[in-house]
A and B are shown apart, each in its own frame.
Chain A
Amino acid sequence: MSNSLVVAVFVVAGVPAIQVGYAVLIEALIRPLPDRLQWRLRPWLWLAPALAFLSAFLIYPALNTLYLSFLGPTSEAFVAFKNYSFAFTNEAMLVAFRNNLLWLIFFTAFTVSFGLALAVLTDRVRYETVAKTIIFLPMAISFVAASVIWKFVYEFRPAGAPQIGLLNAVLASLIPDFRPVAWLVNLAANNFALILVAVWVWVGFCLVILSAALKGIPAELLEAARVDGATEWQVFLRIILPMLSPTITVVATTMVIFALKAFDVVYVMTNGNFNTEVIANRMYKEMFNFRDFGRASAIAVILFIATVPVMIANIRRFRHQEAIR
């Protein structure tokens, strides 16, 4: 305990000192060299710490995981595509694939459309800032905390007992003869119950970005359309929506990535039981519970391949931005 405190103090004070020292040192080292050589070496020296971290924690591990995915549980025997055929035939994995597809479709659709609707609606009220802050608030807290919040909302007591979960209590008071639902167990509802938690958290993100883009649309343009007799609905469909579409794409791709990687909510709320498994949680189980590094790696690679289209889209968009800069 006191040991870790000492180390932490060292990190807080020492690390910045070392980092500044590093820059001073490299500059002092290359100073005696001829100018041209200095300018050729300098970028690499300034980049070196970052490149070291990126290689050690992203590039090398990613390549290594690809390699491990063709080996057995303890990474000794070569098994070719056996881990992949497992991943695409195992029943739990197929459930996970189906659920990630549900996440992909419903999580993305809900967050983006809620975010867009809220951006347009809050733009028209005077308490916009307050409203946006409230919707955005869940972004600041952890998924673990969000999961506790919603597990309590979904809490189920058998019919007849007083419902302490908000959702069942509200439905019971609105609908006569309502039979309380165990939202996290019920096979028809539980995946959506989990997705809803993530939607609650991420709508704020979509709202903030879309709202900023909405403010970027010139007011004269919207005014002109209204003067010409366009209804609010037409203004939205013909002007706002097309002008926001690049931003909607950015937001939607971020949501897609999140949907593919969904882990925390599932891990905390159901741990994948009752047919709520997702790929990332399955990978965790193969890695920690079953100690099969081959299968876990293969699942990670599949997850990675699913994100490649988004990666390419991001790189293209970045190149395009650079070209017009």
Chain B
Amino acid sequence: MSVETVAGRPRDGVVQSLIGTLRRAPLHAVVIGLCLLWLIPTVGLLVSSFRPPRLVASTGWWTGLLPPLQFTLENYVRVLNAHHMGRGFLNSLLITIPATIIPIMVAAYAAYAFAWMRFWGREILFTLVVGSLVIPLQMTLIPVLRLFTGLHLVGTFPAVWLAHTGYGLPFAIYLLRNFMGALPKDLMESAYIDGASPLTVFFRLIFPLSIPSIASLVIFQFLWVWNDLLVALIFVGGAPAVAPMTVTVSNLVNSLGQNWQLLTAAAFVSMAMPLVVFFALQRYFVRGILAGAIKG
């Protein structure tokens, strides 16, 4: 719309934009409606986790939003202490942080070799990595469980650290190799001409330049391990001393049954960390998803 029409016939402008808004009303209704649909189940969880038990069991959570407002922290106190969620939170951290750190460097070395070194079998090996992106974990569980049983690692944190390192590597190598391979060739060549060793090139050039994709990878692996149920279920199990929150909550679903105020509180405790990571680092998370859309 040009300045002239706005100045000359303001009324038309207003009418037109009103018509425009009305014509777009169905669009807004659909988009906003879907957003609400996506949000409301989580809001229900959050609201219920703060309501007193007797109200949760007898009235819908939406009635809790109307006065008289009755909220309590009691549910959180109970799940954190009596239902092992406090311990579970710590276990989740103890599992996730190492299981995120270990694979990154291992993958970065391999990605460096795949991207910038020539050797016989490079194509075939990397094709193998691409292929292994979609191997179902189920295909590996029994032999790995036997391996860990032999090493007396079942039910300990190192078991999940090692397993998650192995399972996370194909995606990590794939993502980093694609990123490193796209770095400018001239940069590498001039570094070598200046007499830099491969070691210097990796630590001074490639690794620092790859930080954006490494950041995506860290978030990805962190959330993947934090949210994992299957691997934890099989290699550490449900003992409160070692079980991460996913395993604890899934056990609570069976043992607490209808105690929704406790279940919702427990679920929210397990969601807190991913939500913080998500809101703080959403950009890198999305970037990681876009860069590696074939992870299974």
Q: Which residues of A contact B (CB under 8 A)?
A: 1, 4-5, 7-8, 11-12, 15-16, 19-20, 23-24, 27, 39-40, 42-44, 46-47, 49-51, 53-54, 56-62, 64-65, 68, 118, 121-122, 124-125, 130-131, 133-138, 140-145, 147-153, 155, 162-164, 166, 169, 200, 203, 205, 208-209, 212, 250-251, 253-254, 257-258, 260-261, 263-264, 267-269, 280, 283-284, 287-288, 293, 296-297, 299-301, 303-304, 307, 310-311, 314-315, 317-319, 325
Instruction: Please choose the segment from B8-16, B69-77, B194-202 that sits at the chain A interface, where 4 or more of its residues have CB less than 8 A away.
Output: B194-202
Minimum CB distance partner of B286 in chain A = A208
Contacting pair A50 B136 (CB below 8 A): no
Contacting pair A11 B98 (CB below 8 A): yes
Tell me the bound Cα distance from A4 to B266 in angstroms.
Answer: 23
Minimum CB distance partner of A8 in chain B = B94
Contacting pair A65 B142 (CB below 8 A): yes
Tell me the bound Cα distance from A173 to B223 in angstroms.
Answer: 38
Give the residues from 48 to 67 in chain B that come closer than 8 angstroms, CB to CB, to chain A: 48, 56-62
Contacting pair B293 A254 (CB below 8 A): yes
Minimum CB distance partner of B126 in chain A = A318
Contacting pair B105 A16 (CB below 8 A): yes
Contacting pair B97 A8 (CB below 8 A): yes
| A32 CB, nearest partner CB in chain B, Å | 13
Contacting pair B198 A268 (CB below 8 A): no
B31, B107, B142, B170: the one within 8 Å of A297 (CB)? B142
**Which one of A7, A164, A325 has the highest number of Cβ atoms from chain B below 10 Å of its Cβ?**
A164
List the B side residues contacting A24 at CB < 8 Å.
199
| A142 CB, nearest partner CB in chain B, Å | 4
Is the C-beta of B187 less than 8 angstroms from some C-beta in chain A?
Answer: no
Contacting pair B229 A140 (CB below 8 A): no
Contacting pair A62 B139 (CB below 8 A): yes
| A120 CB, nearest partner CB in chain B, Å | 10
Give the residues from 226 to 249 in chain B that come closer than 8 angstroms, CB to CB, to chain A: 226-230, 233-234, 241-242, 245-246, 249
List the A side residues contacting B132 at CB < 8 Å.
54, 58-59
Asked, given contacts A148-B264, A258-B296, whether A310 binds B134 with beta carbons under 8 Å apart, the answer is yes
Contacting pair B31 A311 (CB below 8 A): no
B48, B61, B134, B289: the one within 8 Å of A314 (CB)? B134
Asked, given contacts A135-B35, A144-B250, A145-B249, whether A152 binds B135 with beta carbons under 8 Å apart, the answer is no
Give the residues from 257 to 296 in chain B that come closer than 8 angstroms, CB to CB, to chain A: 260, 263-264, 266-268, 270-271, 274-275, 277-278, 282, 285-286, 289-290, 293-296
| B40 CB, nearest partner CB in chain A, Å | 7
Contacting pair B170 A300 (CB below 8 A): no
Asked, given contacts A142-B274, A155-B260, whether A65 binds B139 with beta carbons under 8 Å apart, the answer is yes
Contacting pair A15 B38 (CB below 8 A): no
List the A side residues contacting B167 at CB < 8 Å.
57-58
Asked, given contacts A5-B94, A40-B119, A61-B144, whether A11 binds B102 with beta carbons under 8 Å apart, the answer is yes
Contacting pair B110 A50 (CB below 8 A): yes
Contacting pair A57 B250 (CB below 8 A): no
**Which one of B39, B223, B229 has the highest number of Cβ atoms from chain A below 10 Å of its Cβ?**
B229
Q: Would you mind naming 14 contact pairs between A and B with Cβ atoms under 8 Å apart?
A: A24-B199, A50-B169, A58-B170, A125-B27, A140-B275, A141-B274, A141-B275, A145-B271, A147-B253, A162-B60, A163-B60, A164-B61, A258-B296, A300-B141
Tell me the bound Cα distance from A227 to B239 in angstroms.
Answer: 66
List the A side residues contacting B197 at CB < 8 Å.
27
Is the C-beta of B212 less than 8 angstroms from some C-beta in chain A?
Answer: no
Contacting pair B138 A280 (CB below 8 A): yes
Asked, given contacts A133-B282, A209-B293, A261-B296, whether A301 binds B31 with beta carbons under 8 Å apart, the answer is no
List the A side residues contacting B208 at CB < 8 Å.
none
* Extra 5 A-B pairs, beta carbons < 8 Å, given A54-B132, A280-B138: A20-B203, A57-B166, A136-B282, A166-B62, A304-B139
What are the interface flags for B111-141 relative to A under an 8 Å C-beta threshold, 1 for contact and 0 otherwise? 0111001110010010111111111111111
B107, B228, B233, B289: the one within 8 Å of A209 (CB)? B289
| A212 CB, nearest partner CB in chain B, Å | 5
Minimum CB distance partner of B127 in chain A = A315
Tell me the bound Cα distance from A1 to B88 in angstroms.
Answer: 12
Is the C-beta of B34 less than 8 angstroms from some C-beta in chain A?
Answer: yes
| A161 CB, nearest partner CB in chain B, Å | 9
Contacting pair A166 B44 (CB below 8 A): yes
Contacting pair A122 B31 (CB below 8 A): yes
Contacting pair A43 B139 (CB below 8 A): no
Tell me the bound Cα distance from A42 to B197 in angstroms.
Answer: 12
Contacting pair B296 A43 (CB below 8 A): no
List the B side residues contacting A19 at CB < 8 Å.
105-106, 109
